[in-house]
Amino acid sequence: MHWYEKLNQYFPIEEMKSKEHIELLLEERGDVYYKDEGPHHVLIYVEFDDFVFVDYLFVSKDARGQGLGRKLINKLKEKGKAILLEVEPVNYEDTDTEKRLRFYAREGFNHASTIGYSRRSLATNEVNDMEILYWAPNDETEEKIYESMKKTYRLIHKYKDEELYGEPFDPVHNVLSREETREDILKELT
């Protein structure tokens, strides 16, 4: 089965980039956008100087529970950079969402509780809330994670969006938000 079909069968339509979008990113942004594919997995990720963003991670059902997901995540952790990703909030009618969050928690990922992420799907026109998870080997702050997500959204998600989909994705300030924390306020006062 083609790598895109694997992703398309696993991820909800509102989370999927078009095949053309992913192929264009691989071709034109191959300096930062990568695909790692094997018989039982597809990993598509972005690597910038200071962080990695996991766009898609798929492990086939017959390989789950055998440590493949952990190996793929560990390969990214070896880069020594923050790792960010988007996940659907837990839906108790879909056990995969809960399993996915448990997997990332076991791998040391944190929930970016101060970051809001609501993206309108051009495929369904529905607004979907997503959660941002991150692994921070250098104690990166949520403020840094937020800036990294904004960069990813602008340079990857919106890459040639109007050309590819006939209309643009919403601007970054409509999609990502961040609540000020007590630490932020204290930092501003000093």
Please write down the HEC assignment for all residues of 121-186. CCCCCCEEEEEEEEECCCCCCHHHHHHHHHHHHHHHHCCCHHHHHCCCCCCHHHHEEECCCHHHHH
- The pTM (predicted TM-score) of the whole model is 0.91
Domain that holds residue 46: 3-189
Q: What is the DSSP string of 21-60?
A: HHHHHHHHSTTTEEEEEETTEEEEEEE-SSEEEEEEEEE-
The per-residue pLDDT of the chain, averaged, comes to 90
Q: Sorting pLDDT into bands at 50, 70 and 90, what band is 104?
A: very high
Residues in the chain: 190
- Residue 67's SS3 state is coil
- In tens, the pLDDT along 24-56 reads 999 999 999 999 999 999 999 999 999 999 999
Task: For tokens 């055998």, name the residue.
Answer: 66
Q: Sorting pLDDT into bands at 50, 70 and 90, what band is 182?
A: low
Q: State how far the Cα of 190 lies from the Cα of 181, in Å rounded to an integer.
A: 15
Q: Sorting pLDDT into bands at 50, 70 and 90, what band is 190?
A: low
Identity of residue 157: H
Both tokens of 42, joined, read 């597809």
> According to the model, what pLDDT value does residue 173 have?
95
Q: Sorting pLDDT into bands at 50, 70 and 90, what band is 93?
A: low
Nearest CA to 103 out of 116, 127, 123, 85 is that of: 85
- Residue 104's SS3 state is helix
> According to the model, what pLDDT value does residue 25 have?
98
Q: How many domains does the chain have?
A: 1
Q: Is the pLDDT of residue 20 over 90?
A: yes
Q: Is the pLDDT of residue 181 over 70?
A: no
Instruction: Provide mean pLDDT across the span 78-96.
Output: 82
- For the domain that residue 81 is a member of, what is the CATH number? 3.40.630.30
- In tens, the pLDDT along 127-161 reads 889 999 999 999 999 999 999 999 999 999 999 99
R_g over Cα of the chain: 17
> According to the model, what pLDDT value does residue 183 have?
65
> According to the model, what pLDDT value does residue 188 have?
62
Angle CA(91)–CA(154)–CA(138) in degrees, nearest 5?
75
Q: Is the pLDDT of residue 92 over 60?
A: no
> According to the model, what pLDDT value does residue 50 have?
96
